[in-house]
Amino acid sequence: MTETALATPRAHSEDQTRKVYIVLSQTGTILSRILKLYTRAPYNHCSIALCEDLEVMYSFGRLDPYNPFRGGFVQESTRFGTFKRFKNTRAMVIEAEVTPEAYEALREHIRTMLRTRTEYHYNYLGLLLAAFRVRRAKRNCYYCSEFVRAMAIEAGVEGAEAIPPIVKPMYLLRVPHRRVFEGRLRDYPLLRRGRVVTATV
């Protein structure tokens, strides 16, 4: 997998808040299609990003875009990996505000995870048991929405702690947020920021 350094946020004129970006997506992989049949939700994967350009996102997913049985902590981008392979991935991007201190704590947490990524594993059993409303929690072991919920709590996103620990990606829409994009993920960098956009197929 191509590696990208943890992005540095652009300078803000006001240091009152920072923003994190939660990306809900539907890639079209076999697993995502199975999940869609079960959940009947439009999006069944999620990631978190620290910069609005979404140049790099973080999640738990395929370590190899061609092998669904090797999962773990991953960096994601439309330039490499699963999102590059599945070019018509649909996505919704939401923006949530956090304090500068919480933002920096989250950034450092992710930086530490990148350094020790081999210690993290995909929670396959937890994902299976979640279908039966059973939680399987294990240290350093997540499926995607478990991870994003944990990172949202780490960043102090309002309402994140109230999301049930057996979490589906769509539950993350319960936090106060601004929707900034919905459409093909590969179209996102080409569109103007600051407004809700729906891209056409």
* Count of residues making up the chain: 201
- DSSP state letters, 19-67: EEEEEEEE---HHHHHHHHHH--S--EEEEESSTT-SSEEEEEEEETTE
Task: Over range 110-125, report the average pLDDT.
Answer: 97
Angle of helix 144-154 versus helix 100-115 axis, rounded to 10: 140
Domain count, the chain: 1
Q: How far is CA 88 from CA 1, 21, 104, 127, 178, in A?
A: 20, 20, 33, 24, 23
More confident residue, 172 or 191: 172
**Residue 80 placed within a domain:** yes
Domain holding 66, by residue range, is: 18-190
Whether residue 142 contacts residue 60, with contact meaning beta carbons closer than 8 Å, is answered with: yes
Output the six-digit token pair for 24: 């809900």
Q: What is the mean pLDDT of the chain?
A: 88
Question: CA 3 to CA 64: how far, in whole Å?
Answer: 13
Report pTM.
0.86
CATH of the domain at 141: 3.90.1720
Strand pairing partners for 24?
46, 92
More confident residue, 32 or 174: 174
**Residue 60 placed within a domain:** yes
Percent above pLDDT 70 for the chain: 87
**Residue 8 placed within a domain:** no
Whether residue 18 contacts residue 101, with contact meaning beta carbons closer than 8 Å, is answered with: no
Q: What is the pLDDT of residue 6?
A: 56
pLDDT digits (tens, 9 = 90+) for 52-101: 999 999 999 999 999 988 999 999 999 999 999 999 999 999 999 999 99
**Residue 90 placed within a domain:** yes
